[in-house]
Amino acid sequence: MKYFIAFLTAITLVTNVYSQCSFGGDGIAVSTPITVDGNISDWNSVLSDPDNYAMDAVPDLDAPIADVGRNFTQFAFTETYSNLFLYFGRAGSATNAVDALLYVDVNNNGLMETNEPVVAISWSGSNGNGKVDMYNYVQSAAGGDVISGDGVDMPGMLLLRNNLGVIGRGTSDGLALEVGIPFNQFYKQGSTDPADMLAPKEPFKFHLSTINGSPTSVPGPNAINDNFNGCNPGFMILPVKLEYFEAKNIKAGLELMWKVSDNENVWKFEIEASNDGKNFETIGVVDASANTGSQEYSYSAAGSSKNYYRLKMIDSEGGVEYSKVLAVNATGIHTMSVKVSNPVYSDVTIMYESAQNETCNVRIFNIAGVQVYSQTMSMHAGTNKMMISGSSLKVNGTYILEMTDQLNKRSSHKLVKL
């Protein structure tokens, strides 16, 4: 639900904010205006409330981190009706420069999806300036990428959305940074769904990384130094380890099957379904068995007419993780298999495997996120070969090819024009 607050524009203090992190707190986050000036005394009430902050896991699964300046230890937030304020604390280094990425799941579904926002912060330890740019996330997996935890890099690429300038300020000792960002920057670009636009008092999931290089190097090898996600109370809660999640047709309809490791950490599974891949509802619950080690489960979705399914996995500590999203149709499991010629010297060749006759929208974006090509193509069941003229890629460099099928399932691929 979005809150319409035009009549409250003169009020700066927000109360009863929904908590992102709640470990020993009352479930209500402290909300207070922050002056972004490098003096963090106005953060005292926020940093003392476990509903407002997250700590890196203990043990830190990214350790050892050779450069302590890139070892983030704490993240906190607070808000007013106009701004979301962010706090970052690191282990050491008063003058070291560090770049950080805050992945923001604005619709709070546990997935980073294409065009959801990523805050990129370039923090200069020498002068304390924090330069902020907004990027669009490009999902790696169909249906979106699960918000990962400590020690796990987010797999998607980043495309520049816009520059906000120097709006952050570090402390004199170089150990903390504060930033204030308008709420109107936190949205899923291209979507008009209110659920894809973050507003005050709404919860969101997040993942934080420090990087070695620029955001465009992500998710390259050795690009990311440190990770942690929301929320972590400073100790490690073992996650549910999902080995696979699949579906098959049965006479009665559809059967969902999955397997987990460390079954003793699981409390229950909620099976969620959707018609559009965005708005999910629970259609069933499967309680975890008392077995330890690996365990297989299944659920019959007989009579369901939904096109998308996912698992909500709840561990013994109440933590929640989501599986990948399965897209299905009346004839069975819908798969999208795409192979793209890379690097590109002249024309782009695409091999597309389809389970049925369908239409598919093909788009290409340059590294700045500007669309340079768009075409809706008819596909037949089986192997489809498509050629896109190299003239569509006017300059050499990096591009993103995105294919979207008729069930709105997306596949994104990096192109390099030489």
Residues of the chain with pLDDT under 50: 1-18, 23-24, 232-238, 330-335
What pLDDT was estimated at residue 123? 93
Counting Cα atoms < 13 Å in the Cβ hemisphere of 70 gives 22
**10-15 long-range contacts, CB within 8 A, separation 24+:** 11/81, 12/80, 12/81, 12/82, 13/80, 14/79, 14/80, 14/81, 14/200, 14/201
Rounded to an integer, what distance in angstroms lies between the CA atom of residue 78 and that of residue 235?
A: 23
What pLDDT was estimated at residue 22? 52
CB atoms within 10 A of CB 293: 9
Closest by Cα among 236, 283, 291, 287 to 261: 291
The CATH code belonging to domain 241-329 is 2.60.40.10
What pLDDT was estimated at residue 408? 63
Cα distances (angstroms) measured from residue 235 to each of 70, 73, 81: 20, 12, 32
Altogether, the residues listed in the chain come to a count of 418
What pLDDT was estimated at residue 27? 58
DSSP string, 39-74: -GGGGHHHHT-TTTEEE--SS-TT---S-GGG-EEE
**366-375 long-range contacts, CB within 8 A, separation 24+:** 366/397, 366/398, 366/399, 367/159, 367/160, 367/216, 367/397, 367/398, 367/399, 367/400, 368/159, 368/160, 369/136, 369/159, 369/160, 369/161, 372/399
- Say if residue 64 is preceded by a cis peptide, omega within 30 of 0: yes
CATH class of the domain whose range is 6-229: mainly beta
> What's the predicted TM-score (pTM) here?
0.56
Beta 111-112 vs 397-405: how paired, if at all? unpaired
* 72 and 54 Cβ atoms separated by less than 8 Å: no
Residue intervals of the chain classified under CATH 2.60.40.2550 are 335-417
Closest by Cα among 304, 309, 294, 299 to 259: 294
* 80 and 86 Cβ atoms separated by less than 8 Å: no
Rounded to an integer, what distance in angstroms lies between the CA atom of residue 362 and that of residue 374?
A: 6
Rounded to an integer, what distance in angstroms lies between the CA atom of residue 308 and that of residue 311?
A: 11
Residue intervals of the chain classified under CATH 2.60.40.10 are 241-329
Rounded to an integer, what distance in angstroms lies between the CA atom of residue 20 and that of residue 79?
A: 12
CATH class of the domain whose range is 335-417: mainly beta
Rounded to an integer, what distance in angstroms lies between the CA atom of residue 126 and that of residue 146?
A: 36
